[in-house]
C-alpha cells in the first residue's frame, strides 16, 4: 500500500477547510519537476551572464588588438629609420677606412639585416623582435669595427707626429748623407747625416714629437741634442752653439731645441742633422 500525504488548505475565516490527498509517488514527481525547472533556470541564467561577459571581453580584446597594431606599425617605422641610419653609418665608416688607407674587405662588417616585417601577419611581433636582435648584433659589430678604426687612426696620428719631417733650421746643405772623402788624408768615411750651414745662433727646431734622450758634449759633434721619437726614430743635432733643452723633456715638432754653432770638429757654423731608424742612420733628405 502506497503512502499518502494530506495537504490541508485552511482559509482565513469561516469557509470550509479543504483537504488534498497526494500519493507519495506523485509528490516525488512534483519535487523532481521543481528541481529540474530550477536547474534549467539556473543554467539559462548562467549562460546568459557568461555570454555578456564574453562579449565585453571580446570588445576589450578588439580595442587592445587595434592599439597593438598601431604600436607595431610605429615599431616597424622606427625599425626602418634605424636600418637606414645603420646603412649611413656603414657608409661613413667605409669612407673613413678608405681615407685611413685601411680598406680590407675581410674586416668590413655587413649591415644587411633584412627588410621591414609585414605588420599584418600574426608573427609580425616575433619578426620585429628577431630583426631588432639582428640589428643589435650589427650595432655591436659596427661599434667594435669603429673602435679598430679609431685605434688605427690614433696610431697613425702618433706615428705621423713621431716621424721626422722638415728642415731643422733655415740654411743650405753643405754635405750630404753617405760615404764621403775624409778632408785630411786618404780614404772615405760614412757621413751619417746631412750638414746644414747657417749663421751661429740660428734656431734649431725639433722635426717630430718626442722626448729629449740626451744633451751632451762630444769631441766630434760638440754640443749635441739627441731626441727619441718612439717607433724606432731618433734625431741628432750636432755642433750647436747652445743647447736649450734638458734630458727627459717632452718635445713637440717645431719646438726650439738649440742654436746653430761651430762646436766639436767643425769648419764653420752648421747643424749636423742625423735621423736614425732602429739605430740605423737614414738619409735625412728624404724627410725634408
Ligand atoms: Zn755632419
Average of pLDDT values for 135-154?
Answer: 86
pTM above 0.95, yes or no: no
Report CA(244)–ligand 1 centroid distance (Å).
Answer: 20
Report CA(268)–ligand 1 centroid distance (Å).
Answer: 11
Average of pLDDT values for 249-278?
Answer: 96
Per-residue model confidence (pLDDT) at position 118:
53
Per-residue model confidence (pLDDT) at position 199:
97
Report CA(220)–ligand 1 centroid distance (Å).
Answer: 10
34-53: pLDDT as tens digits:
899 999 999 999 999 999 99
Report CA(221)–ligand 1 centroid distance (Å).
Answer: 8
159-187: pLDDT as tens digits:
999 999 999 999 999 999 998 877 666 67
Per-residue model confidence (pLDDT) at position 254:
97
Report CA(263)–ligand 1 centroid distance (Å).
Answer: 12
Look at residue 124 and tell me whether its pLDDT is greater than 80: no
Report CA(171)–ligand 1 centroid distance (Å).
Answer: 14
When mean pLDDT is compared across 187-191, 214-218, 247-251, 279-283, the lowest value belongs to 187-191
Report CA(195)–ligand 1 centroid distance (Å).
Answer: 5
Find all residues with CB under 8 Å of 197, minimum gap 6, and list them: 171, 172, 173, 174, 268, 269, 270
181-223: pLDDT as tens digits:
776 666 788 999 999 999 999 999 999 999 999 999 999 999 9
Cα distances (Å, whole numbers) of residue 134 to 27, 64, 82, 214: 77, 28, 12, 56
All cell numbers assigned to 166:
722638415
Report CA(175)–ligand 1 centroid distance (Å).
Answer: 7
Report CA(138)–ligand 1 centroid distance (Å).
Answer: 57
27-36: pLDDT as tens digits:
788 888 889 9
Ligand 1 being an ion, which residues bring their Cβ within 5 A of it? 195, 272
61-114: pLDDT as tens digits:
999 989 888 888 888 888 888 888 888 888 888 887 777 766 554 455 555 555
Report CA(210)–ligand 1 centroid distance (Å).
Answer: 22
Report CA(33)–ligand 1 centroid distance (Å).
Answer: 130
Share of the chain above pLDDT 90, in %: 52
Per-residue model confidence (pLDDT) at position 105:
47
Per-residue model confidence (pLDDT) at position 107:
52
Q: Compute how many other C-beta atoms are within 10 angstroms of the C-beta atom of residue 102.
A: 14
Report CA(253)–ligand 1 centroid distance (Å).
Answer: 22
Per-residue model confidence (pLDDT) at position 160:
94
Look at residue 125 and tell me whether its pLDDT is greater than 80: no
Per-residue model confidence (pLDDT) at position 115:
52
Report CA(163)–ligand 1 centroid distance (Å).
Answer: 21
Cα distances (Å, whole numbers) of residue 74 to 80, 125, 138, 191: 10, 12, 21, 74
Average of pLDDT values for 265-273?
Answer: 95
Average of pLDDT values for 240-268?
Answer: 96
Report CA(267)–ligand 1 centroid distance (Å).
Answer: 11
All cell numbers assigned to 69:
597594431
Report CA(211)–ligand 1 centroid distance (Å).
Answer: 22
Amino acid at each position: 500500500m502506497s503512502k499518502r500525504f494530506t495537504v490541508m488548505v485552511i482559509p482565513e475565516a469561516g469557509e470550509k477547510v479543504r483537504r488534498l490527498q497526494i500519493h507519495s509517488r506523485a509528490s516525488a514527481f512534483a519535487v523532481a519537476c521543481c528541481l529540474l525547472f530550477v536547474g534549467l533556470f539556473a543554467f539559462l541564467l548562467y549562460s546568459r551572464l557568461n555570454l555578456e561577459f564574453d562579449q565585453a571581453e571580446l570588445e576589450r580584446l578588439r580595442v587592445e588588438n587595434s592599439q597593438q597594431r598601431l604600436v607595431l606599425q610605429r615599431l616597424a617605422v622606427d625599425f626602418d629609420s634605424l636600418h637606414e641610419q645603420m646603412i649611413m653609418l656603414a657608409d661613413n665608416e667605409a669612407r673613413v677606412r678608405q681615407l685611413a688607407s685601411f680598406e680590407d674587405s675581410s674586416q668590413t662588417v655587413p649591415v644587411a639585416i633584412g627588410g621591414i616585417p609585414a605588420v599584418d601577419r600574426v608573427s609580425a611581433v616575433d619578426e620585429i623582435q628577431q630583426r631588432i636582435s639582428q640589428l643589435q648584433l650589427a650595432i655591436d659589430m659596427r661599434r667594435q669595427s669603429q673602435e679598430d678604426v679609431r685605434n688605427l687612426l690614433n696610431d697613425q696620428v702618433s706615428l705621423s707626429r713621431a716621424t721626422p719631417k722638415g728642415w731643422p733650421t733655415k740654411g743650405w746643405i753643405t754635405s750630404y748623407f753617405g760615404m764621403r772623402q775624409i778632408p785630411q788624408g786618404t780614404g772615405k768615411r760614412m757621413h751619417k747625416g746631412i750638414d746644414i750651414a747657417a749663421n751661429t745662433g740660428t734656431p734649431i727646431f725639433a722635426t717630430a714629437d718626442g722626448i729629449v734622450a740626451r744633451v751632451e758634449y762630444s769631441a766630434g759633434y760638440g754640443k749635441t741634442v739627441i731626441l727619441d721619437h718612439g717607433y724606432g726614430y731618433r734625431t741628432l743635432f750636432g755642433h750647436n752653439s747652445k743647447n736649450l733643452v734638458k734630458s727627459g723633456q717632452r718635445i713637440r715638432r717645431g719646438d726650439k731645441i738649440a742654436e746653430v754653432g761651430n762646436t766639436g770638429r767643425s769648419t764653420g757654423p752648421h747643424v749636423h742633422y742625423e735621423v736614425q731608424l732602429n739605430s740605423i742612420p737614414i738619409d735625412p733628405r728624404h724627410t725634408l
